[in-house]
Chains A and B, each alone.
Chain A
């Protein structure tokens, strides 16, 4: 089971695709990208419920906020008693492009089984000034350079989806970056 979730448009988005891992050996994966521009609030994430032994799940979330946009990752991982040998990996990275924007992370983890392994990590940062400076000094405009860096940031997700979609997504992000789509 694999969800790929890209939240780009609209004003307020709240979306949490869920996987119920009921049978032994089941695996759930959610790859999620959120982009919040002006006036947008992307409240996205994923839920994973481990009911059976030997189940594994992975959530990778990348969010970008710009022009006062707000992104929130809200996720739940629940490991029920009996879901032995289950493993959970959650990673959320956020990029904040300017000082008006905001990023939140709300991961919930509820673990009721001892033979399990749960990992979560998150980072929040801004675009590297040096990288931006390097690109602009090579004659790339600031907007284009930001677009490149943002596309690089979400690349771990885009390279896992079919090529056609990933090209489409790259273009969409570039358009969003240039501010021509609202």
Chain B
């Protein structure tokens, strides 16, 4: 497994030219990242965590560019936004004609905690091959009222319940990172 820490890379163009498992991770940064997949049997996971506070603004652009057949890429970006924070996500999956047999996924989920938050989510697809499987999804919303109510009813205080739900929401990313073999993230972020 090759780990790519996007917070520490200078280049915004990442070329994956050899088969293998890759994991990329970003946390609270802005920038453009292009993942160019030029070999078969590349298995790429891209994870992102964002936490907006005060008047922070994040702008993220990702491109999953498949130029070779039978590779896989999977993007998951989760964000929690407070105060007047702004989040602008634009993602593109591009599969060239040569990219037959590609599996590409893209998911962006955001939780809004304050009425002054602005979120723009633009997940794009451009597909020129026909033998592919490609999906993307984007959800933006508040914490689930019913889940909050349930926790309240069990005697968990409102703020603590909120915290628990947010933790659970973000946990998915940590779990997946762990599954992929990345363990030392807790200490760093």
Interface positions of A (Cβ within 8 A of B):
81, 94, 96-99, 101-126
Contact = CB atoms under 8 A, between A and B. Distances in A.
Contacts of B120: 108-111
B63 interface: no
B136 A122 contact: yes
Given A107-B123, A108-B120, A118-B121, 12 more contacts: A81-B115, A97-B130, A99-B129, A104-B126, A108-B122, A109-B140, A110-B118, A114-B116, A122-B123, A122-B125, A122-B135, A122-B137
Q: Which 3 A-B pairs have the closest CB atoms?
A: A105-B125, A96-B130, A114-B112
28 contacts: A101-B130, A102-B126, A103-B127, A104-B125, A104-B126, A105-B125, A105-B136, A107-B122, A107-B124, A109-B121, A109-B122, A109-B140, A110-B119, A111-B112, A111-B120, A112-B118, A115-B142, A116-B112, A117-B139, A119-B137, A120-B123, A120-B137, A121-B136, A121-B138, A122-B125, A124-B133, A124-B135, A126-B131
Contacts of A122: 123, 125, 135-137
A97 B129 CA distance: 10
B132 A99 contact: no
B142 A117 contact: yes
B166 interface: no
B27 to A, nearest CB: 22
A105 B124 contact: yes
A157 B112 CA distance: 32
Nearest to A117: B141
B97 interface: yes
Interface string B92-103: 000001001000
B117 interface: yes
Nearest to B133: A125
A125 B13 CA distance: 27
Contact of A124 (B113, B118, B134, B137): B134
Given A99-B130, A111-B140, A116-B140, A124 B117 contact: no
Nearest to B141: A117
Given A111-B118, A117-B142, A126 B136 contact: no
B7 interface: no
Contacts of B1: none
A106 B112 contact: no
A72 B115 CA distance: 33
A81 B126 CA distance: 31
Interface in B118-175: 118-142
B12 interface: no
Contacts of A94: 125, 127
Contacts of B141: 116-118
B100 A99 contact: yes
Contact of B115 (A98, A106, A114): A114
Contacts of A126: 130-132
Given A112-B118, A114-B117, A107 B138 contact: yes
